[in-house]
Amino acid sequence: MKIYVTGSATTAFGELWNASPRGLARQAVFGALADAGIEIADVQALFVGNMLSGMLGGQEHLGAFFAEELGLTAPAFKVEGACASGGLALHNAVNSVMSGQYDTVVVLGIEKMTDHKPEDVATALMGAGSEEERSGGATFPGLYAMLARIHMREFGTTEEELAAVAVKNHYHASLNPNAQFHNTLSVEQVMKSSRIADPLKLLDCSPISDGAAAVVITSKKQKKAARRVEIAASAVATDSLGLAQRKTLTGLSATQQAAARAYNLSGMTANDINVAEVHDCFTIAEVLAMEDLGFFPKGKAAAAIAAGQTTVGKGGRIVVNPSGGLKGCGHPVGATGVKQIVELVDQLCGVAGKRQVEGAAVGLAHNVGGSGATSVIHILKK
């Protein structure tokens, strides 16, 4: 059975003070429905990816909450997997269609974070960490800083090379009208920004954001003229919540395993990917992803990114995070995994405007929960 994305839409990402979760959901979902050329009555199920609604908003029953807002009486589900909630919602939606239970469903990823105090948001986000890490006062900048230090020790990665990731992704975000940031950066600006958790600085870190994104997926045969992109693979893997329990800290095992499954399911390799949206919650996270996904050998990604190099295989040049990634586009945690799919659909359909990747035919989305406890990989193709 083949499953297609036939409609997609995203709101702007950022500090959306005048937007409510209800309004963001309506904008994203009805935008995706219009793109697919269908009505809400055609939707057989709704999957909502969200992490923080209970902790920050006091509302856990998001399936029914948004179904009511959208005028939908079909089955509706909330899916939570930390910052991988959006990707997991899509994975569950794909499985539901593969099973034959439904043939047309909507996946909504959404988060409203900026209405709350930063310390409350940081505490809520650490709900994705281990008990030992929380009791020790760790935060995710601190945890990823540890990963960065280990990568530096093992492979000679430098702070300037990490800064180059932020420079690249802010440039891409400057071309994306829906991105949170439109300012470009220099390596010097990143290096001079405040240190958050050494060696990570403020401009190595993705922001607190609001936003929503939605996609329509279906197994129904579409008209030849219909815009559609095939989901060639959907794979998930998990690891320990905490860093201390892992066998290695120079990569994320869950990403490696999920990528291997996705490549196997799709019959593709890393060399077939033209465009990728990877989970750059911190600059070191993109470096790890580029190696874990097989785009670069272990220890080689940071220097290659800093030098502006890209891999070349059967698919040719690969462009990573053309949306601006989490760093430049923003990171409303439950929405990120779905936004990645929206970006890939735009790229594969050739409608990404100034950030269009020439010749994009195969795309990969990589969405991570916590410090790598959950990893979701999707491969899309024309």
> Between 3.10.20.30, 3.40.50.11740, 3.40.47.10, 3.90.420.10, what CATH number should domain 4-117+211-218 receive?
3.40.47.10
pLDDT-derived band at 228, boundaries 50, 70, 90: confident
pLDDT-derived band at 225, boundaries 50, 70, 90: very low
- Bridge partners, residue 47, by sequence: 77, 107
Q: If you ran DSSP here, which 8-state letter would residue 285 be given? A: H
Question: Is residue 281 flagged as an active site residue?
Answer: no
Does residue 56 carry a pLDDT above 90?
A: yes
Q: Assess contact for 200 and 141: CB atoms under 8 A.
A: yes
Determine the pLDDT at residue 227.
72
Cα separation, 279 vs 333, in Å, equals: 11
What is the pLDDT averaged over residues 114-141? 94
What is the pLDDT averaged over residues 212-233? 85
What is the pLDDT averaged over residues 334-358? 97
What is the pLDDT averaged over residues 245-266? 97
Give the side-chain half-sphere CA count within 13 A for 133: 23
Question: Where along the chain do its domains lie?
Answer: 4-117+211-218
Higher-pLDDT residue of 76 and 316 is 76
Of 161-170, 302-311, 336-345, 352-361, minimum mean pLDDT range: 302-311
Question: Is residue 170 flagged as an active site residue?
Answer: no
Determine the pLDDT at residue 50.
98
Determine the pLDDT at residue 308.
87
Does residue 79 carry a pLDDT above 80?
A: yes
pLDDT-derived band at 224, boundaries 50, 70, 90: low
Q: If you ran DSSP here, which 8-state letter would residue 14 be given? A: B
Higher-pLDDT residue of 240 and 228 is 240
pLDDT-derived band at 311, boundaries 50, 70, 90: low
What is the pLDDT averaged over residues 57-67? 96
Catalytic residue among 91, 172, 331, 366: 331
Catalytic residue among 83, 205, 281, 329: 83
Cα separation, 279 vs 159, in Å, equals: 19
**What's the mean pLDDT when you consider all of the chain?**
95
Q: Assess contact for 115 and 59: CB atoms under 8 A.
A: no
Q: In which residue are the tokens 């829906």 written?
A: 178
pTM of this structure: 0.97
pLDDT-derived band at 220, boundaries 50, 70, 90: confident
For the stretch 85-107, pLDDT in tens is 999 999 999 999 999 999 999 99
Listed residue (29, 96, 174, 90) closest to 344, CA to CA: 90
What is the pLDDT averaged over residues 37-47? 97
**Neighbouring C-beta atoms of residue 325, cutoff 10 Å:** 32
Determine the pLDDT at residue 226.
59
pLDDT-derived band at 221, boundaries 50, 70, 90: confident
Determine the pLDDT at residue 158.
98
